[in-house]
Structure 1
């Protein structure tokens, strides 16, 4: 099944604004639906299209890129002969699928765009990894779009629900609660989305009426695929990335979810593992959240990368990873998660989905920990803000509560310590929206609107 995806509108915007002056590169983790949406876009928006899938193309097609870039008439003649297809019409596109597997094709974009005969779309994962850009000139004629797993709105579209999100958006904008009955219904949908996840194959299995055990089987296969990618990378890095990825659920159970390298190897040092952590982040199978030493608008300037958290790129995959030590996944386990009745640390799942939603909304992920002496005491205590984003050139601190607990000392002390003027402060929790004491309490499904 082909699902409606928001990235389609971004591709339309690129096509309209670039008008043939640049190629577009759609990057993201494997199995999130890049190839599917790009082919759908090519079918609907162009007279004709051709796909070069570099996971499958033969050496003759690849040699054509190496040998004939100085003579594009010969290049296209050979390409059409080798593919057994000629492009018909004035408005045609050539898709370079899995372009990271053949970097020379990516380098050729500069000359192909200048030639102007066709438009070009590239898709790829692991695009920025060193070995995939080594010895090539990255074309400046390349507009990059990041693609993520299906978000809550895309999931609702998949189950033919077009009314929930406008209702959520109106409630958020007017700061008006939805009411218990509506909130409960949306929370049930959201919990289902959280455990199924946003990988199109898993959503397809759910929409097709498959059992949770079958949905879990699909997700296990995706995790196996990711582990194969990590294993290939790890031939040079002694399984560091594989071990780090496998320990994410265990790490998220730590106090404050901080990543402890000592859980990977008691003698581990950040310098020895930072490339492996970056690989997971750049492969977009994990979301890295970095500590900032000072809550300033230019957050990246104060980033302390040795103090970080690491979330799974898709929360549905995290749920499967948590349950992986069981031989099979019980239907009852999934149902218990959906009705909020499971005796595992749900805080880690809630925090992971918040990270995922913030990332999909275009935010880089940062948190802040600080020391403060509360009034009436003499002892310095450590406090932490779960996430920090910038809106309207002002810091917006975010706290995540997996229960109905509403304490906000860390906010109060943060503002006192730094004399901050915050545009908004958000507590994300599982109850209905409310605005109180200058703090917006929002249900978890509204995170996408931040």
Structure 2
């Protein structure tokens, strides 16, 4: 029985802990990505004491931050409230669900300035941390990390395939023998069904059936819907739900550009833009804007009004679409059903986890379209995603010729092969792209 999952963000927490320039750390992420668990585990392994306040549960604790934000007073109050001794080197001060106490967000500034020798970690959702108008966000006074759902390499490592996970994570794609491709393809199919939500992954690894893991995914979706009701302005609630529920239909289109009319016939951008912003802040969607040109800096060519929309987790997309898990798991069906939507979702999710801000490009004069483009080391890399073994690359040719790009990627169910201007990149290797480029640049 697996009791806990291994997460690569633990290495980032070690780096933060050992940094001589350490500031209070704000760990952000969507709900149920495992923020509380990872900080508790880190605290237990690195400190004698963990003084934790959960502002969601410990409502009374919010009053500790109502008055003067003098650090000595706050630390003494935290010590009394938690019953845990608070010492600079041996205690982790853990402010969980900090978005529920806006004044605690402001207090992080004073922990940075007046108590830099203390170890302070706060966790919060994207939405809660960014949307409190009555709180002053401590810009420049906090270190920040983001916890995503498990990536494919994290899934592999927890499934007993650490050696393969390390090769992919290190960008050593060329050194992985083709003999392992069938195993990696099968595990990828499983990952595309299970997704990366920690609770679902843990259940799967402990023998839960596809039906049971789907039930857990649906429970997470239900909890999101309850959060919509709790946190969203009443005037936006129904529109938020309409946008959220439209995502499978948006991605099922041949052209996956977000269309407001799919949300509601006759709808316009002004009707749903605020709802999209709310879901973005909540952390469960990813906007991929259309770039007018594949030139650096890529962000300056991104059109925020034209975009594709993806979900934070591929398993949740399958549940939201009511996609039968058997379609995902049986044979090669995963790579032909749902018109490649899951395949693009997979690649997008792995790119975001590598801290890319992907765009896409569509040629206004023709039918060429590049599914994603990322920027690294001042270079633009176009990416075409194929749901099957497909070696055509017409759109990549057009893009590379038009914008004088040196290298492109075709991600498909194929073995790795570098052909000079283009690399055939297995879908299971998409999470290793940044490390691969670091090696080959």
TM-score normalised by L of structure 2: 0.91
Superposition pairs for residues 270-285 of structure 1, below 5 Å? 270-285=269-284
Q: Which stretch of the first structure deviates more once superposed, 82-91 or 109-118?
A: 82-91
Structure 2 residue aligned with 1:375: none
Superposition pairs for residues 1-400 of structure 1, below 5 Å? 1-19=3-21, 21-59=22-60, 61-70=61-70, 72-87=71-86, 90-116=89-115, 118-127=118-127, 131-168=131-168, 173=172, 175=174, 178-179=177-178, 181-231=179-229, 232-323=231-322, 332-336=326-330, 339-341=331-333, 344-372=337-365, 381-400=366-385
Distance in 1 (alpha carbons) for counterparts of 2:101 and 2:8: 28
How far apart are 1:250 and its partner, in Å?
A: 0.8
Task: Say if 1:223 and 1:175 are closer, same or farther in 2 by CA, change over 3 A.
Answer: same
Residue deviations 1:370-421 (CA, integer Å, cap 9, x gap):
134xxxxxxxx23211100112211100000101222111111223333x13
Task: Say if 1:119 and 1:88 are closer, same or farther in 2 by CA, change over 3 A.
Answer: closer
Distance in 1 (alpha carbons) for counterparts of 2:82 and 2:299: 46
Distance in 1 (alpha carbons) for counterparts of 2:375 and 2:72: 49
Structure 2 residue aligned with 1:376: none
Structure 1 residue aligned with 2:396: 411
Name stretches of at least 5 consecutive residues in structure 2 with no aligned partner.
434-441
Distance in 1 (alpha carbons) for counterparts of 2:142 and 2:409: 36
How far apart are 1:346 and its partner, in Å?
A: 5.0
How far apart are 1:315 and its partner, in Å?
A: 0.3
Distance in 2 (alpha carbons) for counterparts of 1:73 and 1:25: 21
The answer (yes or no) to whether the contact 1:31–1:199 under 8 Å persists in 2 is yes
Number of residue-to-residue matches in the alignment:
428
Distance in 2 (alpha carbons) for counterparts of 1:54 and 1:143: 20
TM-score normalised by L of structure 1: 0.89
**Computing the radius of gyration over CA atoms, which structure comes out larger, 1 or 2?**
1
Alpha-carbon RMSD: 2.2
Residue deviations 1:296-346 (CA, integer Å, cap 9, x gap):
11111111111111111100111111227xxxx6x644532xx22367325
Distance in 2 (alpha carbons) for counterparts of 1:279 and 1:273: 10
Name stretches of at least 5 consecutive residues in structure 1 with no aligned partner.
373-380
**3-state SS of paired residue (2:162):** coil
